[in-house]
A = this chain, B = another copy of it.
Amino acid sequence: MDVLCPVHDQQGKRDVIILNIRSMERIYLETSGETLDPEDWQDFRRQSHRMLDDMLDYTENLRSRPVWQTIPPAVRDAFNQDMPEQSADMTSAHAIFMQDVLPYAIGNAHPGFMGWVHGGGTPVGMMAEMLSAGLNANLGGREQMPVEVERQVLRWMRELFSFPDTASGLFVTGTSMANFISVLVARAAHLGVAVRDEGLSVDHGLVAYASGSAHVSIAQAMDMAGLGTLALRKVCLDENFQMDVKALEAAIVKDRAQGLKPFMITATAGTVDVGAIDPLDEIADIAKRHGLWLHVDGAYGALGMLSPDIAPMLKGMERADSIAFDFHKWGQVPYDAGFVLVKDGELHRRAFATPAAYLQRELRGMAAGSPWPCDFGPDLSRSFRALKAWFTLKVYGAEKLGSMISNTCVLARYLKQRIEAAPMLEMLAPVALNIVCFRYQGSDKLNADIVVALQESGIAAPSTTMVKGRLAIRAAIVNHRTEKRDIDALVDAVLALGEKLWSMNE
């Protein structure tokens, strides 16, 4: 592809470079030997231990804080400053963090947090991340034990999801990226890896399927891949908010009859709205019958496999061609730690590996150990996410993590019971896992006001969503710290605020 290259003079630019390097030599005499490491290690150590104690104090005493509080304007304004020219003590930066940032986080570490689907994190995960940041490993590849730690977690995930030894896997930021990677591998499976060079220049006609409750990142993956969101068919839901499998098959047949090329079904294991699990086994049958790639978006639900109670609901997931999920949701690993698992590891590699002179592989030395993680995804610079996931699985063990996951579902069931016992409250969707959508009697606006008032109260923090055209108060019980008393506090506060706001509006 190289363009013909006329020779021409570059003398002027060379002069500039030489001039600059000369002036740098002067600077070097002034700065030689000065690194960014502390001048006084003992002092730095003292500061660091105080920072650690502050974070442990924060975590130990979370319950004494509000879940969330409004940001005072002056605090926000303090982060609208010019770039600092001069050095400052780390203690002062830490003080700003403690005073202006930490109290005004979104609160997902707090047991009263039930907004969106956020994990709570653990002190074990925090310490693992500290080790990872101190080591500063780049997990793009090369011959190093951090890559082996990632491979160990991959082996565990193959085991958990009953995937073969030839399956590949990769840490990514989150399921949005994992879904995107899966779409690209599925695209390569159907068009051949030549699509990587040739682009979607031919009349490809690819269409994909997901339920109407599928996460927005599925459509976004289609957008980014150049296929377009319109090529994603949104299959309707049944009364349990699961994908209607008859409608799915009808849509595939119809599209094929019209000359289109169905290539991928994304089933959801735990929808973001209500926590529904699509009928995975039936969808796997359809995918097999029609030769489609089956992807499971198990962003938070997939790790339900750790719980003997939930695993049976996920039956059929082992038949997927790819699975995307997050360790930072039900897995409680600190943000971010998404993962993608692909059954055909060699296809996965061929869909991403690129040649590059400076990434040449060797059999010995630091450039050994091929294939590298960068051969399976878009990232060449990758932090050591595997370590916090490895620590979490190693320290807590699968059994305890599974119990904790079950517990969040039991709490959701308890919340449902409390809602059903309260005449002013109404359930809006079945409780499949750990998400409860309900509503106070009254308008959408009243319910939206209740949620904002709840958040501002600091007592509990659900979010909202739309269920069948009506605004729902949505409580996602994900945090391992949430207990029965937090559910009671939520219900009591909704009832009290509902009554108060209703009477104010009248």
Given A238-B10, A380-B176: A464 in contact with B410 (beta carbons within 8 A): no
Could you say how many copies of this chain the assembly holds? 2
Given A335-B137, A335-B382, A336-B381: A27 in contact with B234 (beta carbons within 8 A): no
Which of A80, A366, A455 has the largest number of chain B CB atoms within 10 A?
A366
Which of chain A's residues 14-31 have a Cβ closer than 8 Å to chain B? 14, 16-17, 20-21, 23-25, 27-28, 30-31
| Contact indicator B236/A2 (Cβ below 8 Å) | yes
| Contact indicator B230/A149 (Cβ below 8 Å) | no
* Residues of chain B lying within 8 A (CB to CB) of residue A118: 138
Pick the contact of A407 from B32, B159, B380 — CB < 8 Å?
B32
Whether A422 sits at the interface, judged by CB under 8 Å, is no
| Contact indicator A24/B196 (Cβ below 8 Å) | no
Interface string of A392-415 (1 = CB under 8 A from B): 011111111001101101110110
Whether A301 sits at the interface, judged by CB under 8 Å, is no
Whether A59 sits at the interface, judged by CB under 8 Å, is yes
| Contact indicator A391/B37 (Cβ below 8 Å) | no
* Residues of chain B lying within 8 A (CB to CB) of residue A259: none
| Contact indicator B378/A27 (Cβ below 8 Å) | no
Given A137-B106, A196-B228: A309 in contact with B27 (beta carbons within 8 A): yes
Whether A447 sits at the interface, judged by CB under 8 Å, is no
Which of A32, A93, A155 has the largest number of chain B CB atoms within 10 A?
A93
Closest to A58 in B: B134
| Contact indicator A175/B388 (Cβ below 8 Å) | no
Closest to A466 in B: B357
A229 to B310, CA, bound (A): 44
* Residues of chain B lying within 8 A (CB to CB) of residue A127: 47-48, 51, 90, 94, 130
Whether A36 sits at the interface, judged by CB under 8 Å, is yes
Whether A452 sits at the interface, judged by CB under 8 Å, is yes
* Residues of chain B lying within 8 A (CB to CB) of residue A400: 36, 87
* Residues of chain B lying within 8 A (CB to CB) of residue A398: 83-85
The number of chain A residues touching the other chain, given as a range, is: 35 or more
| Contact indicator B229/A226 (Cβ below 8 Å) | no
Closest to A379 in B: B173
* Residues of chain B lying within 8 A (CB to CB) of residue A53: 45
* Residues of chain B lying within 8 A (CB to CB) of residue A423: none
Which of chain A's residues 204-225 have a Cβ closer than 8 Å to chain B? 212, 215-217, 219-225
Which of chain A's residues 88-131 have a Cβ closer than 8 Å to chain B? 88-90, 93-94, 96-97, 100-109, 115-116, 118-131
Whether A376 sits at the interface, judged by CB under 8 Å, is no
| Contact indicator B126/A134 (Cβ below 8 Å) | yes
| Contact indicator A465/B233 (Cβ below 8 Å) | no
A280 to B300, CA, bound (A): 45
A90 to B239, CA, bound (A): 45
Whether A439 sits at the interface, judged by CB under 8 Å, is no
* Residues of chain B lying within 8 A (CB to CB) of residue A151: 79
A120 to B55, CA, bound (A): 25
| Contact indicator B199/A202 (Cβ below 8 Å) | no
